[in-house]
Chain A
Amino acid sequence: MSVLVVVECDKGEVKKSSLEVASYGSQVAQLLGTTATAVAVGEASEASLTQLGEQGISKVLYDAEPRLKDFVNGAYTKLIATAAQKEESTVIVLANSNIGAAVGSRLAVRLQASLATNVVELPKNDGGQFTVKRGAFSGKAFAEVVLGGDRKIIAVKKNSIEAQHEAGKTATVEAFSAQLADTDFADAPKQVVMQDQAGGILLPEADRVVSGGRGMKGPENWNLIEDLAKALGAATACSKPVSDVDWRPHHEHVGQTGITVSPNLYIACGISGAIQHLAGVNSSKVIVVINKDPEAPFFKAADYGIVGDVFDVLPKLTQAVKELN
């Protein structure tokens, strides 16, 4: 009756958001007096799966079927449903990622479970009934939601739970087969195209983000953003008009109609702070705004600010970071 945790792997490593999910799942298991089992998807290595013990996972199920390396909605759903049956899991925890949401919503129907996405806190358990807090209204509010029924699925928002590390603890990795058939791979990709990540840091997973808006004047000035990002070990992002005119790729666009990020540090350079932009970034822990207009609305949502010209301020910041290290 263990809690089942879905762990996404990439290039042999467990994704940071999945370490958070593993910690979340093992804390739910403690709450229920049981253990946490993980089921791994994507390209995993035995060593990184063993290490999930540090997040409180006791056992990891891994199906070595090669076609599971890429995301396939049908196959992943069956894999996890089979693991849940085997473990008799009544609680499944996954990341609120594109993969987690796509799989979690199908599982909710297949397993007749209640589902909460975008969850930011551990559940309150009231005699088996869970109440969870989740983000709503695009970062402008939270909702407390009661999950009914015997089975529950929780998708945890990135960077809202701290991954725990109990050094030296290991999980046992168990080979597992969900007996997947060709029909489960109906939506298998014909091709997978990965982006060039600035400095190899994935924006949705990033701890720090340096973001540029129309105040950057043009794509030729993005080296200023990239230099600071590189010095900080940050990912780069942008406002919607910037990706609309192709100064930057679409996948960097954050906000209400782009991706939502919740890093520890978000530095906004030449972005006015329109309400639709804020919706995608306002759950960041610390927000820094650099804008030459002291009346820019973004300052109201910021923790630190510099009223100044980005072309003057950004090189100074990059220099200061380099001196620090």
Chain B
Amino acid sequence: MKFLVCISNVPDTTTKITFTPDNKEFNKAGVQFVINPWDEYALTRAIELKEAQGGGTVTVLNVGEADTEPNIRKALAIGADDAIRVNAHPKDAFFVAQQIASIAKDGGYDVILMGKESIDYNGFQVHGMVGELLGIPTVAPAMKLDMSGNTATLEREIEGGKEIVEVATPFVASCQQPMCEPRIPNMRGIMTARTKPLKVVEPTGDAPRTQVTEYQLPPKKQGVKLIPAESAGDLIKLLRNEAKVI
């Protein structure tokens, strides 16, 4: 079975977010980029399923410029077999989805996995767009994924519960915990990753439909008002009379 795992290159979760002085771009200076944490679930689960099936391939795909290659290599070190990079700045979700759909179609992938959402842009939308572009089901967000032959059983999180869903390949799923325990690269993986194929292709498709014109930081908090532990009950009065939230 052929798995395609889409990974996004995002600022590390501890990054202090700042923007260029004109507020038009994210300030990348000094920022460490990582594989989007949710995409690690997709990647590890694909590798586990491939291993369980005793055959098949896991291909990682990123839409990004050359600076994303260290994280693509990391995905190869974790256990993907090969990689494709679409050589373009990921302009918006629709643009990214078109690249993924085009590669998924040409490569005849059976299972297309991605993360629930990117932690930088928080779009939560690439999976649905890819599914629709390919005319196949999307299960988003999935907490569990098992395969038996060409049928997948998934747990889809809905507000307040979950749905057990069965779909046949090909399908798209966006992954989140507790699907698996994400793997980290070991020494052997890191060594073999260097020689695994990484193909660079040029983008296709239509123009993006959205454009960011400005970024803003949230307003600063006023500072904390401390209440002595002995008179903890006063907090409740403040929440009613001052903050008016209870």
Q: Chain A residues in contact with chain B, CB under 8 A?
A: 10, 15, 70-71, 73-74, 77, 96-99, 101-106, 108-110, 113-118, 131, 133, 135-149, 186-195, 197, 202, 204-205, 208, 232, 250-251, 256-257, 264-265, 275-276, 279, 282-283, 285-286, 288-289, 299-309, 312-313, 316-317, 319-321, 323-324
Contacts and interface: CB of A to CB of B under 8 A. Distances in A.
Nearest to A134: B122
Interface of B: 11, 13-14, 17, 19, 26, 37-38, 93-94, 97, 119-129, 131-133, 137-141, 143, 156-167, 176-178, 209-218, 221-222, 224-229, 232-240, 243, 245-246
B229 A308 contact: yes
A77 to B, nearest CB: 8
Contacts of A289: 224
Given A251-B157, A265-B246, A137 B233 contact: no
A186 B129 contact: no
A208 B246 contact: yes
Interface of chain A, main secondary structure: mixed
Report the 9 A-B pairs with minimum CB-CB distance, sorted nearest first: A105-B128, A308-B229, A320-B233, A189-B163, A194-B161, A105-B125, A109-B132, A114-B209, A320-B236
B221 A98 contact: no
B125 to A, nearest CB: 4
Given A320-B235, A320-B236, A142 B137 contact: no
A116 B210 CA distance: 8
A190 B165 contact: yes
A306 B209 contact: no
Contact of B159 (A98, A136, A147): A98
A103 B128 contact: yes
A118 B122 CA distance: 8
Nearest to A118: B122
B243 A286 contact: yes
Interface of chain B, main secondary structure: mixed
B246 A304 contact: no
A138 B233 contact: no
Given A141-B215, A250-B177, A285-B245, A101 B235 contact: no
A106 B156 CA distance: 16
A71 B164 CA distance: 11
Q: Which residue, of A106, A188, A191, A301, has the highest number of chain B Cβ atoms within 10 A?
A: A106
A320 B232 contact: yes
B26 to A, nearest CB: 8
Contacts of A288: 235, 239
A317 B123 contact: no
B221 A301 contact: yes
B162 A193 contact: yes
Contact of B165 (A15, A133, A187, A256): A187
B226 A192 contact: no
A318 B138 CA distance: 44
A129 B124 CA distance: 23
A194 B164 CA distance: 11
B218 A283 contact: yes
B221 A232 contact: no
A286 B239 contact: yes
Contact of B212 (A98, A144, A202, A282): A144
A187 B124 contact: no
